[in-house]
Each structure stands twice: as structure tokens, then as C-alpha cells.
Amino acid sequence: MKYKQQGGQIILFVIVAMTVALSVGITVATRTISSLSRTARSDTSNKVTAAAEAGIERYLALSFSDLGSKAQSGNPETIPFPSMDGVTAVAEIIVNDFTYNSANGNYYEFNLAPDHVKEVSFVNIESGNPQFNGNVKVCWDNNKSAIYYVVYGTSGISGKGIIIPNNSEIDSEKYKGEENANGSDETGFNSCKSLSIPSGSYGLRLRSLYETTNVGVFPSSGNLPTQGFKITSKGMLQKEGKIQTTRTITVYRSRPYMPAVFDTAIYTEGDVN
């Protein structure tokens, strides 16, 4: 009887050991499959994002006139990026001109870092002639940022100044001829100032002083001219002619303007005597 009991115990131990080994094997296999699945999803996401980015980079390298031609055509362009694994990455790019880029209303919105410049154009993008005259309202959200502005056109500089924000923490006595902003009636902004834009103006240059701020430029009447191009690139993965997944990237390319250094510098192609 004693030997038979020991034999039964051995069989029981074997069954338990096999059960544990099987459980461990299943757990390891499940983890391996999950890891492979995550890797496959990550690889797919990287490929489709890379395709969308490649489309954006290719179009950002185009000249402004070429972008204008593509915007006028209104037709998307498809660029394939063949792969070795039978999956084809494709970028579908379309270009549109834009006047306003805010999702919250009809105004031109952008971030402005300290001592950086952004320019709002008043020139017709096709004819190259000044198009806008009236008033624009410049608004920003940071009470620790002042705004330096210059309005220029066919007769040179027609207006310039430093605008101190509403409820400002800035010492306005540091500046000569500073202008004070009003409280904002625009959602998301704390200070606003209305500026008169005379006929024949080419552009409005804005510079943030002290801190980064979000700026919105609102036309008081009419519409601003086209400010640049909106480039949308949709990355797609195709296998056997079927779209597997997509990613979309959108960028805005503004019209060209002089960098901030030219506000306080003299440019000449010849020698300075």
C-alpha cells in the first residue's frame, strides 16, 4: 500500500508540474503575441505618419508661386512611397490659400515669442498691389507682454508704436509715446488695440516684448487679403489596393517677410562708406 500511495503522489506531482508549465507557457505566449501586436501597430503608425510628414516636407520646399498654382488647381496630388514588405505608403496632399487660421472665428492667430516678428499682409497675392485699408484690432492674451507694431506701405512707415497691455505689470514709463490697450471683448484675449491702416499699406509688423503671447488680428471691416497657404497631407498605408490606416497633418505657410533683425538694421548690396 505504501508504494502505491507514493506512486499516486508522483503522478499528482507530475500533473501539477505540467499544469504550472502549461500556464507559464500560455502566459509567455500571450505576452509575446501582445508584444508583437503592439510592435506591429507601432510600426504601422510610424509608417503612415512618416508618409504624411514626407508629403508636407516636399511641399514646404516648393516656391511660393508653385504653391499658388497648386492652390488654384484645387486638385490633390498623390505621392507613393513603395516599401519592401508589400505595403505601400501614400501621401495625398492638397493646398488651399487661407486668410484666417483660427477655429474660433474670422481672424488671423499666431504665437509670438519675445523679439520675434510676425507680419500681416495687406497686399493682393495675385496682383501684388495693396488691397486693404480700414482698421484692424490687434489682441493678445499675456498681460506681461507689450506689442511693438509698424505699419508700412508705398509712402514708407505710416504708423508705429509700443502698446502696453490692459491691467499691465509693465512699467510704461520706460517707453516714450507708448499707447495703452483696452480691455478685450474677444474671447481668449486680455488686451486689444485698434489700429488705422491707411490706403497703400503693404503690411503690419508685430513684435512681442518680454514674454511669449498669443496674438489675434481682427479686421474691423471687410476681409484681410490671403495670408498664405494651408497644406494638408494625408498619409495612407495601402495593401493589395486597400487602405489600411491613415494619418493627417496640416501646416500653414505664411507669406514671406523680413526677419526681426531688419527692424533695426541697414541692408545694402554694396559697401557702406
Query: Are residues 136 and 173 both part of a single domain?
Result: yes
Q: Are residue 107 and residue 216 in the same domain, yes or no? A: yes
Q: Tell me: the pLDDT tens digits for 27-36?
A: 555 554 544 4
Domain count, the chain: 2
Domain contains 129: yes
State the pLDDT confidence band at 81, using cuts at 50, 70 and 90.
confident
Among the listed residues 137, 143, 144, the one whose alpha carbon sits nearest the alpha carbon of residue 109: 137
Classify residue 27: in a domain, yes or no: no
DSSP string, the chain: -HHHHHHHHHHHHHHHHHHHHHHHHHHHHHHHHHHHHHHHHHHHHHHHHHHHHHHHHHHHTS-HHHHHHHHHH---EEEEE--TTS-EEEEEEEEEEES---TTSSSEEEEE-BT-EEEEE-B-TTT-SB---EEEEEEES-TT-EEEEEEEETTEEEEEEEEEPTT--S-GGGSSS-EEPEEP-STT-SEEEEEEE-TTEEEEEEEEESS-EEEEEEESSS-PPP-EEEEEEEEEEEETTEEEEEEEEEEEEEPP---GGGGS----SS---
Q: Is residue 1 part of a domain?
A: no
Task: Say if residue 135 is in the same domain as residue 234.
Answer: no
- Report the 10 Å Cβ neighbour count for 232: 18
155 with 204, same domain: the answer is yes
Highest-pLDDT range among 82-86, 104-108, 148-152: 148-152
| Residue length of the chain | 273
pLDDT recorded at residue 36: 40
Residue 2 lies in a domain: no
Q: Residue 256 corresponds to which cell in the numbers above? A: 514671406
pLDDT score recorded for residue 104? 81
Q: Is the domain of 135 the same as that of 181? A: yes
Give me the CATH number covering residue 78: 3.10.450
Are residues 200 and 244 both part of a single domain?
A: no
pLDDT of residue 22: 60
Say yes or no: 236 and 174 in one domain: no
Q: What does the pLDDT read at residue 260?
A: 84
Using only C-alpha atoms, the chain has a radius of gyration, in whole angstroms, of 31
The pLDDT assigned to 127 comes to 82
Same domain, 79 and 132: no
pLDDT at 73 over 80: yes
Ranking 54-68, 81-95, 152-166, 219-233 by mean pLDDT, the lowest is 81-95
Q: For the residues 239-265, what does the mean pLDDT come to?
A: 81
Residue 222 CA from chain centroid, whole number: 26
Tens-place pLDDT, residues 253-265:
988 888 887 777 6
Contact call for residues 110 and 118 (beta carbons, < 8 A): yes
Question: All 3 cell numbers of residue 227?
Answer: 495670408
* pLDDT at res. 243: 66
- Is the same domain home to 76 and 113? no
Residue 100: phi and psi, rounded to 5, are -120, 145
Supply the pLDDT for residue 40: 46
The three cell numbers locating residue 234: 494625408
Please give the pLDDT value at position 37.
Answer: 44
pLDDT tops 80 at residue 241 = no
Give domain status of residue 50, yes or no: yes
- Same domain for 117 and 207, yes or no, is yes
Residue 147 sits at the vertex; the CA angle it makes with 145 and 151, to the nearest 5 degrees, is 170
Q: Is the pLDDT of residue 269 over 60?
A: no
Q: Which structural domain, as residue segments, surrounds residue 243?
A: 42-97+228-254
Question: Rounded to the nearest 10 degrees, how much is the dihedral formed by the CA atoms of 249, 254, 256, 261?
Answer: -100
CATH number at residue 159: 2.60.120.380
Cβ–Cβ < 8 Å for 146, 152:
no
Please state the rounded mean pLDDT for residues 82-106: 83
Q: Is 92 domain-assigned?
A: yes
Q: Which three cell numbers stand for residue 176?
A: 516714450
Answer yes or no: do 80 and 166 share one domain: no
89 and 183 share one domain: no
